[in-house]
Amino acid sequence: MSSPKVTVLDFGIGNLFSVCRAVEKCGADVELVDTCPRADQVERLILPGVGAFAKCLAAMRRYGAVDLAREFAETGRPMLGICVGMQALFEIGEEFGEHPGIGLIPGRVQKLAPAPGENAFKLPHIGWAPLERPAPDRWDGTPLRSVLPGEYAYFVHSFHGMPEHPSAILATTHYGSTRVTAAVAHENVTGVQFHPERSGPVGLRILKQFIAG
């Protein structure tokens, strides 16, 4: 039996080496592509991304990843956005002005801000934080289905997605007393703000469940 195939887009921005190694460790064949494939050539798709929202989206557009992601979402096959790749799934990003995203998840990407009455905190938010589940059955049928609430993942970010519909929030965490969107999902599309490839056994379990579809 052949191994599951995962396509990782190489549009010049992303933690590609670590992502590919983690996916391979989970038993998949990884195809790292620097030329945009057609949607019908892809079984499972990973959108990586680091840095500023606008720069990442500009690179995605030059590569063709924005149109590919929209077309691939229509196939019903699994897609995963990581870090800024997760933020790219939203309609608008507010980093250094307003910039359009892919638009698969209604909402905006906004700067982390202290809760009312809380002292200012340092940005970026860097380090391990527990994953919280907004509803008891929210992780069923998603890549987080093997995670236990309170298990830790590794974050590096200053912005996070704010979905228009709360049902799109798959997981949260806290920075100080500020509630942070840690993961989002809509049908076959999942996005994680944390780095599963840097989150130890928890991250590998998430990638394995994504690969399993």
With H, G, I as helix, E, B as strand and everything else as coil, classify residue 195: coil
Q: How confident is the model at residue 213 (pLDDT cuts 50, 70, 90)?
A: confident
Q: What is the pLDDT of residues 136-182, one digit of tens each?
A: 999 999 999 999 999 999 999 999 999 999 999 999 999 999 999 99
Tokens 């990442």 -> residue: 56
Active site residue 83: yes
Q: Does the global pTM surpass 0.85? A: yes
Selected catalytic residue, list 125, 157, 160, 195: 195
On the question of pLDDT at 1 being above 80, the answer is no
CATH of residue 164: 3.40.50.880
Determine the average pLDDT of the residues in 45-60: 94
Task: Clarify whether 186 is annotated catalytic.
Answer: no
Summary mean pLDDT of the chain: 95
Ramachandran area for residue 164 (φ above 0: left; ψ -120 to 50: alpha; else beta):
alpha
Nearest to 47 by CA among 38, 142, 57: 57
Q: How many domains does the chain have?
A: 1
Q: Which of 36, 56, 83, 125 is catalytic?
A: 83
In 48-120, the DSSP E strands lie at 79-82, 90-93, 99-100, 105-111
Domain interval for residue 62? 5-212
**Position 2 pLDDT exceeds 90:** no
Q: Which has the higher per-residue pLDDT, 118 or 140?
A: 140
Q: In the annotation, is 197 catalytic? A: yes
